[in-house]
């Protein structure tokens, strides 16, 4: 009986060893983590588009809420750009293919840029924004690309909300 149990245990161990998967490549895992982070950030920006549309419509005067929203948007955009850079991924190429970022997320980025541009002159905490100068310039340069993509994308769920803003 002991021999049968021992034989059974040994056969199960050998069987499980033969079914073991190959070790996951660490570089591939890092790449997947960065791609997941990009998707999460862009999803967060997409989800907040209604907030940025409202802020855009009410950005003629300075407010503490808009100041914080301005800084938060820049922080999120910087995080998105940095994650692309860390993964040696091409952001501009990716937005054209919608590989990691959806059309709705691009629409949200366009809305955020319009808010940032419009509210920029009313911002009271300008000293805090200096840290984001590079990010701000990069995102403003991409605005024409966002607009071109949105004008030619019939698959947006609700149509482009950015194109509807004055």
* 141-161 average pLDDT score: 86
Whether the per-residue pLDDT at 127 is higher than 60: the answer is yes
pLDDT attached to residue 14: 62
The domain of 115 spans: 26-151
Query: Does the residue 3 lie in any domain?
Result: no
How many domains is the chain built from? 1
Which CA distances in Å does 151 have to 75, 107, 145, 146, 154?
27, 10, 10, 9, 8
Whether the per-residue pLDDT at 7 is higher than 60: the answer is no
Query: Does the residue 12 lie in any domain?
Result: no
pLDDT attached to residue 65: 92
Query: Does the residue 78 lie in any domain?
Result: yes
Query: Does the residue 136 lie in any domain?
Result: yes
pTM to 2 decimals? 0.81
Query: Does the residue 139 lie in any domain?
Result: yes
Q: Look at residues 50, 159, 69 and name the one whose alpha carbon lies nearest to residue 118.
A: 69
Q: Rounded CA gap, 4 and 52, in Å?
A: 70
Kindly report, residue by residue over 61-117, the tens digit of the pLDDT: 888 999 999 999 999 999 999 999 999 999 999 998 888 898 889 999 999 999 999
Q: Rounded CA gap, 114 and 135, in Å?
A: 15
Query: Does the residue 132 lie in any domain?
Result: yes
Of 1-5, 94-98, 125-129, least confident by mean pLDDT is 1-5
pLDDT attached to residue 76: 95
Q: How open is the CA angle 126-131-132, to the nearest 5 degrees?
A: 85
Which CA distances in Å does 35 have to 26, 38, 72, 75, 132?
14, 5, 21, 18, 23
Residue whose entry in the numeric block shows the structure tokens 């980025």: 109
Query: Does the residue 98 lie in any domain?
Result: yes
* 29-35 average pLDDT score: 88
- The contacts of residue 32 (CB under 8 Å, 6+ apart) are none
pLDDT attached to residue 16: 58
């Amino acid at each position: 009986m002991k021999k049968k149990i021992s034989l059974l245990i040994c056969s199960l161990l050998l069987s499980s060893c033969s079914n073991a998967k190959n070790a996951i490549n660490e570089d591939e895992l890092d790449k997947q983590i960065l791609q997941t982070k990009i998707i999460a950030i862009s999803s967060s920006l997409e989800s907040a588009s209604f907030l940025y549309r409202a802020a855009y419509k009410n950005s003629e005067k300075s407010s503490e809420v808009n100041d914080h929203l301005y800084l938060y948007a820049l922080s999120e955009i910087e995080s998105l750009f940095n994650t692309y850079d860390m993964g040696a991924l091409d952001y501009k190429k990716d937005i054209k293919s919608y590989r990691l970022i959806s059309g709705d997320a691009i629409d949200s980025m366009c809305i955020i840029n319009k808010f940032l541009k419009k509210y920029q002159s009313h911002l009271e905490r300008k000293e805090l924004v200096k840290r984001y100068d590079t990010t701000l310039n990069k995102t403003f340069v991409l605005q024409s690309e966002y607009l071109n993509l949105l004008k030619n994308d019939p698959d947006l769920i609700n149509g482009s909300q950015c194109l509807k803003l004055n």
